[in-house]
Amino acid sequence: MAKRLAICGSFGFGAIGVGPIGVGLIGVAGFLATALNAQPPSTQPPDVMMQCLGCHSVEPGRHSVGPSLAGTYGKDAASQDGYEYSYALMDAQLVWDEATLDSYLANPARFVPDGAMNSRVPDASERAAIIAYLKSL
């Protein structure tokens, strides 16, 4: 009976007989409960992305006024199939990494003259939030 209570106590059903094994079982039970109830990281866009989503989609292959942003981080600019990019962006030979995106989003018209995008994100923290979101897509 004492052993049975020790095991039950290990899982929080009583305080009798929680020894080293019981403490270990509590840890395992806690880990499993956390793992089974874990939620995936949030992929909700930051509020500042709303200005981007007026022209861009985040669904792969779904283009609008601007190309889909899905999977663009780390890729060559102007490389998604099914979208007609400006010659200026195609000729720029850019890779969408953190530094490039930061400069581009700060002032697209200055970074790629004659490009099609003209919406700026002057705030560095907002650009960082956009870039972090793009990495998650």
In three state form, how does the secondary structure of the chain look? CHHHHHHHHHCCCCCCCCCHHHHHHHHHHHHHHHHHHCCCCCCCCCCCHHHHHCCCCCCCCCCCCCCCCCCCCCCECCCCCCCCCCHHHHHHCCECCHHHHHHHHHCHHHHCCCCCCCCCCCCHHHHHHHHHHHHHC
75 and 9 in a single domain? The answer is no
pLDDT higher at 20 or 23? 20
Q: What is residue 43's predicted lDDT score, i.e. its pLDDT?
A: 73
Instruction: Tell me the CATH number at 109.
Output: 1.10.760.10
Q: What is residue 34's predicted lDDT score, i.e. its pLDDT?
A: 38
Q: What is residue 73's predicted lDDT score, i.e. its pLDDT?
A: 98
> How many C-beta neighbours within 10 Å does residue 50 have?
9
> How many C-beta neighbours within 10 Å does residue 37 have?
7
> Does pTM top 0.75 for this prediction?
no
117 and 58 in a single domain? The answer is yes
The count of structural domains within the chain is 2
| pLDDT tens track for 40-55 | 444 789 999 999 999 9
30 and 85 in a single domain? The answer is no
Structural domain span for residue 61:
49-136
Say if residue 20's pLDDT is above 90: no
Contact 89, 96 (CB under 8 A): no
64: amino acid identity, one letter: S
72 and 128 in a single domain? The answer is yes
- 105 — pLDDT class (breaks 50, 70, 90): very high
